[in-house]
């Protein structure tokens, strides 16, 4: 294990936060020149930590995990997965995604990531990013720890992609590429994220707060273009909202406490998304529950 890389990564001169948020060309060179060193540093860091850092499928909600495993074994049983997702707003579904009793494992891992003193790139364009990090290898300065990447890849391939295809059949063919980042919202430090749409075919937003880790505010307000309906939704620990990226939404200000999230996207090659209003073809369940490896096209939305 290259522990020298870990030492060098911690000692490297870093761009200022303002330079990173302004996407100065020197920052792009910084990530490119040090990419291999940072990857080796994250591997050494993870090796140097104890076994409590292990991330695996035990983090998922037991009902969701059992349903997903059943669907992979027999795709005709996929309705068991669909039944776990409740439509809480037109085109927006909610389900228990992570087990609240196991969330502390993931949160402890992310806290140790923040303390690792290895440079991480903040999510450009996201104002609520004081504890944020890029999660996908397509992004500069991403969280390259091998165990985390195994966990992230399985989440995207085994859970998010087939669930997205099940709830939104039109994303088939527009879900080959993955993207993800984390956010930590802090009262008195962060304000809000104004109404916007995502450059994704589908977005999965997972609340990582622990039971009893209370906060106030910071709901997600959704807008329905057809009916002009507006609704503000809140997250319980470990729950997730999933929707087309084209659904307008706005993150409201947090007024007390902190809230942590993973925000994960799927889209097609070079950022392609489904045409608005297009009617999807009939899809056989076997087509949804298939692991078809695709090559990372290198395109990153931000």
Closest CA relative to residue 135, chosen from 159, 153, 161, 115: 153
Instruction: Find where tokens 């956010």 sit.
Output: 183
> What are the chain's domains?
1-48 (no CATH), 59-288 (2.60.120.620)
Inter-residue contact 185 to 252 (CB < 8 Å):
no
Across the strands, what pairs with 162? none
**At 216, which helix (H) or strand (E)?**
strand 216-217
- The SS3 of residue 127 is coil
pLDDT in tens, the chain (302 residues): 678 999 999 999 999 877 877 888 999 999 999 999 999 999 999 988 765 678 999 999 999 999 999 999 999 999 999 999 999 999 999 999 999 999 999 999 999 999 999 999 888 655 445 568 999 999 999 999 999 999 999 999 999 999 999 999 999 999 999 999 998 765 455 455 567 899 999 999 999 998 988 665 557 888 888 888 888 888 899 999 999 999 998 876 665 667 789 999 999 999 999 998 777 778 899 999 998 777 899 999 98
* C-alpha span between 112 and 59 (Å, rounded): 17
- The SS3 of residue 172 is coil
CB neighbours of 21 closer than 8 A, spacing ≥ 6? 122, 124
The b/e string for 53-70 (b: 16+ C-beta within 10 A; e otherwise) is bebeeebbbeebbebbee
């Amino acid at each position: 294990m290259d522990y020298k890389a870990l030492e060098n990564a911690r000692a490297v001169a870093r761009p200022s936060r303002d330079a990173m948020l302004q996407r100065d060309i020197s920052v792009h060179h910084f990530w490119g020149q040090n990419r291999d060193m940072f990857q080796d540093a994250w591997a050494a860091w993870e090796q140097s930590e104890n076994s409590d850092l292990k991330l695996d499928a035990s983090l998922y909600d037991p009902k969701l995990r059992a349903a997903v495993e059943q669907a992979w074994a027999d795709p005709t049983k996929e309705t068991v997965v669909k039944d776990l997702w409740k439509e809480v707003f037109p085109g927006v579904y909610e389900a228990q995604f992570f087990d609240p009793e196991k969330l502390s494992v993931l949160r402890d891992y992310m806290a140790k990531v923040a303390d690792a003193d290895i440079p991480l790139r903040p999510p450009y364009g996201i104002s609520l990013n004081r504890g944020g990090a890029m999660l996908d290898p397509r992004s500069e300065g991403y969280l390259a720890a091998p165990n985390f990447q195994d966990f992230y890849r399985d989440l995207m391939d085994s859970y998010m992609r087939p669930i997205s295809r099940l709830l939104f059949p039109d994303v088939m063919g527009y879900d080959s590429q993955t993207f993800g980042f984390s956010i930590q919202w802090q009262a008195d430090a962060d304000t809000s994220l104004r109404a916007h749409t995502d450059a994704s075919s589908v977005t999965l937003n997972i609340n990582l707060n622990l039971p009893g880790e209370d906060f106030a505010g910071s709901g997600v307000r959704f807008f329905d273009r057809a009916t002009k309906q507006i609704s503000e939704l809140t997250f319980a620990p470990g729950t997730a909202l999933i929707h087309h990226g084209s659904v307008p939404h706005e993150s409201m200000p947090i007024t007390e406490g902190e809230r942590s999230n993973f925000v994960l996207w799927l889209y097609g090659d070079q950022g392609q998304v489904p045409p608005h209003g297009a009617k999807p073809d009939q899809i056989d369940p076997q087509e949804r529950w298939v692991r078809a490896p695709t090559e990372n096209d290198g395109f990153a939305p931000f």
